Amino acid sequence: MTRLKFTLAATALVAGGLMALPAPVQAQAPAQQGSVAEIIVYGNDPCPRSTDDQVVVCARHPENERYRLPQQYRPSGTRQQSQSWAANSRALETAGATGVNSCSPVGPAGFTGCLTQVIREAKEQRKQANEENRIPNE
């Protein structure tokens, strides 16, 4: 019983001591200094001047970045991750095909579609390589 009273008294003492601590200085600092405006400036554009109640901080970026998407919104990842569902489903169109122009060992004349399939895949690979090597418009 005395141990319980002692524990409760110590807890109350610690809680009261924590409430008596002053507020952090950082929480009070913005009210004393005014506001800070962070502005991105492109090329040779002038940076706005600071006023008595506002501090202006400028970050200078090259001119060719002016109309681009911000970095966090630009597409990222591999080509397979950014490929559309329509392009993915195109491969499924001939998945179970048999017979003429199907490029399968099953059915009559199944081999006839193999050259067509190789040509189509080569065209798609060339198109993707050209898109990857293209320089973005400025």
Per-residue model confidence (pLDDT) at position 40? 92
| Rounded-to-integer distance, Cα 136 and Cα 61, Å | 17
Higher pLDDT, 53 or 4: 53
Beta bridge partners of 61: 42
CA distances from 17 to 13, 21, 22, 134, 136 (A): 6, 7, 11, 66, 62
Q: Please tell me the total number of residues recorded for the chain in this structure.
A: 138
Per-residue model confidence (pLDDT) at position 91? 72
Is residue 60 classed as helix, strand or coil in its secondary structure? strand
Per-residue pLDDT tens for 93-114? 777 777 777 887 777 777 778 8
pTM of the predicted model over 0.75? no
Per-residue model confidence (pLDDT) at position 87? 74
Per-residue model confidence (pLDDT) at position 62? 92
Per-residue pLDDT tens for 23-82? 554 444 444 556 899 999 999 999 999 988 899 999 999 998 888 888 888 877 776 677
Residue 102 CB neighbour total at 10 angstroms? 20
Place of tokens 């019983």: 1
Which is nearest to 58 in space by CA: 42, 34, 70? 42
Average pLDDT over residues 108-137: 82
Per-residue model confidence (pLDDT) at position 26? 47
